Amino acid sequence: MRGNEGAAPASYRALVGEMGGMGMGLLRLYTLGAPAHICRNVALTTCFIPAQMGSSDQGSWAMFALGGVLLSHPFEVARTLIVAHENTHLTGRTFRTLQGLYQEQGVAGLYKGFVPRALQLIPMLMVANVGMELYAGKPWGFPSIIRGTPATLE
């Protein structure tokens, strides 16, 4: 993309110009890495399974949070690489990026930066589970269907 890797562009105009001009450049700012972003978020939803099933066991919350981070991390690595290096495709090539990374660096490449991300996300996801537990079924909180019981109308 840029000859001097790591150097910031002089302005947003320069950034948009490097990404393909005003129309395509602005669109790529919003769509680049979108498939990897969506896959990452879908994988992260596994951490909410205990709260959805009505479990208040914090050990299971932590294990499901760790599982969600383990499943989602390769997509986060791919998203970061796509945003940093993709210069031809509108949304990036998530699975091609993951395949190339795996062939070049193995499993270690897919989990670069895992420990700091896990240290940040696992406590946050456990707090989100607590929020789901506290507010499930309340008229101003999560609907009761989230806890696995159908909502009833009175």
Specify the 3-state DSSP secondary structure of 32. Answer: coil
57 belongs to a structural domain? yes
Structural domain harbouring 100: 32-133
Q: What mean pLDDT, rounded, does the chain reach?
A: 78
Backbone torsions φ then ψ of 11, nearest 5 degrees: -160, 175
Q: Which tens digit of pLDDT belongs to each residue from 27-42?
A: 776 777 888 888 888 8
Q: Which position has the higher pLDDT, 64 or 58?
A: 64
Q: What is the mean pLDDT of residues 4-17?
A: 66
Q: What is the mean pLDDT of residues 2-8?
A: 56
52 belongs to a structural domain? yes
pLDDT at 154: 45
pLDDT at 128: 83
Q: In Å, what is the CA distance from 67 to each residue of 13, 38, 101, 107?
A: 41, 17, 21, 16
21 belongs to a structural domain? no
41 belongs to a structural domain? yes
138 belongs to a structural domain? no
Q: Which position has the higher pLDDT, 117 or 33?
A: 117
Half-sphere exposure of 60 (CA within 13 A, CB side): 12
Q: What is the mean pLDDT of residues 101-128?
A: 92
Give the total number of structural domains in the chain.
1
